[in-house]
Copies of this chain bind each other. A is one copy, B any other.
Amino acid sequence: MEKHKVAIVGYGNIGKYAIKAVEASPDFEVGGLVRTSASTKLHETKHLNIPVVENIQELSDIKAALICLPTRLVPPSAKEILALGINTVDSYDIHGQLAAYRKEADAVAKEHGSVSIISAGWDPGTDSMVRCMFEFMAPQGITYTNFGPGMSMGHSVAARAIPGVKDALSMTMPQGAGIHKRIVYIEMEDGHTLEEITARLKADAYFAHDDTTVIAVDNIDNLIDMGHGVLMLRKGVSSSAQNQIMSLNMSINNPALTAQIMLASARAGLKQKPGAYTMIEVPIIDYLPGDRDEIIRKLV
């Protein structure tokens, strides 16, 4: 099988798993890693034996870039790369803003003949695909998406920004019926009290609307587990039949699954016309490698 070169942009949890996902795939190879200040951090990536650059234009023949940056940095990076005529994939995860981001990326992609698959993680992403399927399978009813227990990256970052917090880990705990509780573990800086930090954290926009418990610990690193999960449950009506029950349940390594889905989306991107797409806008078969007739024979 011909191997397409992809660039990995960012070397956090997702970026690290993305490199391994590409290496394990039959149809892609790593064209290089893009990092800000690549030269000063070269010791971290020397063992990878891949080109490490500060600008994607230093790499050649790149068919797609997997943007593995913190979510707020994703849209500017994607638009810049799309404008070079290179496809992008990201796991931008702000549900309320992804529709607007898609429109912006769509305009850039169409102008420059590139393809972007946005919000291509597990939620938004593959969960969204199943959520839409459940909706057309039982058009009347309610879907509950229950996350966790698992680390929320966004909430952990927000907690770390609270004055007096040295390090933090925010866990999402499912309470059923799509309701969640947050447990925030914190390592405190000297001279602060738990009461004072708890008050500040509960006033933060990230936590103000959730039932939040704050617990002080000595060492956050000892608590880190990148496992996560989801139970998406729909009870609804198909035709005139009530009580149709359908659920998706996962227990997964979060950044590893995200990276794998992003790579599948890079594959699908190669088969789309220029523009920006969410995962529900692309035929499922396009995410899979190999011969289409064989996929239909084997998996339908």
Chain A interface residues (CB < 8 Å from chain B): 17-18, 20-21, 24-25, 95, 98-99, 102, 119, 122, 124, 126, 128-133, 135-140, 237-241, 244-253, 256-257, 259-261, 264, 278-285, 287-288, 292-293, 295-297, 299-300
**Beyond the given A17-B241, A244-B251, A281-B283, could you list 18 further A-B residue pairs with CB under 8 A, ordered by the A residue number?**
A99-B297, A130-B248, A132-B287, A132-B295, A133-B287, A138-B257, A138-B260, A238-B252, A238-B259, A239-B257, A239-B260, A244-B256, A247-B248, A248-B248, A249-B249, A280-B299, A281-B296, A283-B283
- A285, B296: Cβ atoms closer than 8 Å: no
- A133, B260: Cβ atoms closer than 8 Å: no
Residues of B within 8 A of A246 (CB): 248-252
Kindly list the 7 A-B residue pairs having the minimum CB-CB distance in the complex, ordered from nearest.
A241-B256, A241-B253, A238-B260, A21-B239, A136-B264, A17-B239, A128-B300
CA distance A95 to B240 in the complex (A): 28
A299 touches which one: B131, B285, B293 (CB < 8 A)? Answer: B131
Nearest CB of B to A16, in Å: 9
Residues of B within 8 A of A245 (CB): 250-252
Residues of B within 8 A of A126 (CB): 133, 137
22 contacts between A and B (CB under 8 A): A17-B238, A21-B238, A98-B300, A119-B300, A128-B300, A129-B133, A130-B248, A132-B284, A132-B295, A136-B261, A137-B261, A239-B257, A240-B256, A246-B250, A247-B248, A247-B249, A248-B249, A278-B296, A280-B295, A280-B300, A281-B284, A282-B283
Given A240-B24, A296-B98: A133 and B250 interface contact (C-beta under 8 Å): no
A252 touches which one: B95, B129, B244, B300 (CB < 8 A)? Answer: B244
Residues of B within 8 A of A133 (CB): 126, 129-130, 284, 287
CA distance A77 to B259 in the complex (A): 45
CB closest chain-B residue, reference A102:
B296
CA distance A196 to B239 in the complex (A): 42
- A278, B300: Cβ atoms closer than 8 Å: yes
- B241, A299: Cβ atoms closer than 8 Å: no
- A136, B287: Cβ atoms closer than 8 Å: yes
CB closest chain-B residue, reference A119:
B300
Instruction: Please tell me how many copies of the chain the complex holds.
Output: 2
- A264, B137: Cβ atoms closer than 8 Å: yes
CA distance A124 to B295 in the complex (A): 13
CA distance A263 to B245 in the complex (A): 19
- A299, B128: Cβ atoms closer than 8 Å: yes
- B257, A238: Cβ atoms closer than 8 Å: yes
CA distance A18 to B122 in the complex (A): 33
CA distance A284 to B247 in the complex (A): 17
Among the interface residues A122, A129, A260, which one has the most CB atoms of the partner chain B within 10 A? Answer: A260
Nearest CB of B to A12, in Å: 14
